[in-house]
A = this chain, B = another copy of it.
Amino acid sequence: MKSSACTAGCANQSEQSCICTKLVKIAKVRKYFGGRIVKTVLFALLDKWADWEAAYLSSALQMLGQNQFSNRVLSLTKDPVESIGGFRVVPDCDLQSVPADYDALILIGGMSWRDTSAQQLKSLIESCLIDGKVLGAICDASAYLGTIGVLNSVRHTSNDLNDLKAWAGDAYTGEDNYVREQAVRDCNVITANGTAALEFAQEVLLALKVAPEEAIHEWYQFHKLGYYSAPLPGDATSWNEE
């Protein structure tokens, strides 16, 4: 029986919990941070961004991260930026107001990474790498990284190697580092193909140490396999108890 009392801070007033609670309980984080936000994660969205590529990561940062993480939506302007599914999201910042003290920059795929306007993000990405922050890119955003020379010295993946080579041209010399896996993490750079929303999220969560590794893997399995097939959460009580 997987049911238990609610600890997720939701409006569930019953003795039994909603599934959100179960997801949070996986982490079993015992030591809180007093409500203080300690890490900021920027989600870069362009017009016609891919809904599913952002959804698991954004929510898991909050549900596993126990008040440690602040997600901020970045776009080219502060106008609402529409997803493929037609959801219009209000950016928290544009390139003129992006916070300097962020901890991770996550580039969400979609239909606009090949527009010339996407070049406006190049300098932010380069400074992210220079500062050693976490950089994630999924689907066409990962191929965009190839076009600006970011993938030449790290193990990486993308939607398709031939597409990456054709688009990036001479800027891409990293074929030997291309890995045919759903998501690849090399140091602080995470890349993934467009069917790897969960794997991408898992690797970013691990890179940011959002929760104990065991808890992150269990969160992944819970969503990948589903409620009736996932193993029962194990014990991850050592997280933040030192």
Contact = CB atoms under 8 A, between A and B. Distances in A.
A234 interface: no
A85 to B, nearest CB: 3
A48 to B, nearest CB: 7
A3 interface: yes
B84 A62 contact: yes
Interface stretch (A28-36, A94-102, A191-199, A209-217): A191-199
A192 B110 CA distance: 27
A87 B84 CA distance: 15
A67 interface: no
A181 B61 CA distance: 27
Contact of A86 (B70, B196, B227): B70
A159 B52 contact: no
A14 B163 contact: yes
Interface residues of A, number: 77
Given A89-B87, A199-B226, A20 B70 contact: no
Contact of A181 (B8, B43, B58, B228): B228
A169 B118 CA distance: 53
B143 A18 contact: yes
Interface string A13-24: 111111110110
A64 to B, nearest CB: 11
B11 A115 contact: yes
Contacts of A58: 51, 83-87
21 contacts: A11-B112, A12-B114, A13-B114, A16-B167, A18-B111, A18-B163, A19-B109, A19-B140, A19-B159, A19-B193, A20-B111, A51-B58, A52-B56, A57-B85, A62-B86, A71-B87, A73-B87, A87-B87, A87-B89, A193-B226, A195-B222
